Every structure is written in structure tokens, then in C-alpha cells.
Amino acid sequence: MFIRNEPFRFFLKHYPVTSLILAVNLLIFLVLYISGTWHVAPVFAYNVFQFMVGSNAMILQGAWWQLITPIFLHISFSHFLFNAFSIFLFAPALEALLGRLKFLLAFLGTGIISNIAVLFLESPGFSHNGASGAVFGLFGIYLYLVIFRKELIPRPDQTIIIVLLVLGLISSFLYPNIDIKGHLTGFLAGLALAPLLFLNVRFRSSRK
């Protein structure tokens, strides 16, 4: 379920939403890295960052799009790599189970709910970026499946989900500059939305 050894074209064909999410994140990271870190166009990089970053102060002043754009913004390579790798591993199975539209709603929905929660839980001066809220939203959905819809998850993968979830939650408290509240609220959003997302979903193999 989580072993990604498909050919590139197969992956693109069967997981188009996951592929698009990864492509957008990669494109934005590369554009900012080349223009900003390499000082090719630092002013452009700064303006893009200011437009996309989740700034509570700017959102409160009307920059509503910053509830969405931070999901696709990563500054450090390690941050981008962790989130991109997590999406690459865990998103395809959910896209296969839910279908393209419902998976997109799940990914964006948990990320946006996480960003809304951070708006109210953090100070106006707080800002954030990254897909971590949506990634933990996927973990929340998987936990729901492990508890309530076991028939959709092979038993070995249930153990993997629990272990990775525990490790992810622990790591949120161990490393500096981690948006802990964003992680937790994204996770809870996934757990809360999962019953609606899987209301009419019946077993079908996600391994092709």
C-alpha cells in the first residue's frame, strides 16, 4: 500500500492529484531557491514569499488566500523533502480509495482547517509555511481507517500507520521552529473529516 515502485508514467496516470500537488510544491520551491538563495532575483523571491506565507496579521487584514498558499510553500530543503516524501508515500493510496475530487478536498480541506486554527490559536505576528498541516491531516484520515474501517487497510499497513503517526507526533515536539498547533489541528481535521469522506466508500484494491 505504501511501497512506491510504480513506473513514472503509471504514477502520473493513476495518481494525478498527488502528482499535481508534488509538482506545484517542487516548482515553487525551485523558483524560490534559484531566485532567492542563488540571488538571481531576490526581490522577486521576497515578494512571492510575502504573498504566499501564512501571516496571521495579513490574513486578518484580508489576505484570505494565505489560508491556502502556505500549503505549497517551503523555504528549507529539509522541510520540503520531508513533506514531499510524506505526500509521495501516503497520498496515492488515499487518492485511489477516495477518488480524485474527494482526495483533493481532503488534502486542501485539512490544510486549510489547520491554517484557520493557527490563525486563532497563535498571535497576530505568527507566520508559517509548509504542507505539514495537510500531511498530518492524511495521518488523521488513516487513523480513522485503522480504527473504524479496517477492511480498507491491510493489517501490516495498519501497524505502519500507527508507528509513523506516533513518530510524527513525537518529532513535532522535538525539533525547533515546528508549528505544533498546525500539526495537531491538521491531524484532528483529518480525523473529523474522514467519516464524511468515506461515508459511501466500499472496499476496492488500491494496489494495481
Nearest alpha-carbon partner for 113 in 139, 133, 135: 133
Total residue length of the chain: 208
Count Cβ atoms below 10 Å from residue 123 Cβ, excluding itself: 7
Residue-level pLDDT at 203 = 62
Residue-level pLDDT at 204 = 54
8-197 sits in which CATH class?
mainly alpha
Residue-level pLDDT at 205 = 46
Q: Indicate the domain borders of the chain.
A: 8-197
Which three cell numbers, joined as nine digits, stand for 74? Answer: 517551503
Q: Is 132 a catalytic residue?
A: yes
Question: Helix H segments across 53-99?
Answer: 56-60, 77-98
Single pTM value for the model: 0.92
Residue-level pLDDT at 168 = 86
Nearest alpha-carbon partner for 99 in 208, 187, 197, 10: 197
Kindly name the residue from 19, 86, 132, 172 that is annotated as catalytic: 132
Q: What angle do CA 140, 164, 178 make, to 5 degrees?
A: 75
Q: Is 183 a catalytic residue?
A: yes
Residue-level pLDDT at 208 = 38
Nearest alpha-carbon partner for 115 in 149, 152, 70: 70
- Residues 52-83: pLDDT tens digits? 999 999 999 999 999 999 999 999 999 999 99
Residues of the chain with pLDDT under 70: 203-208
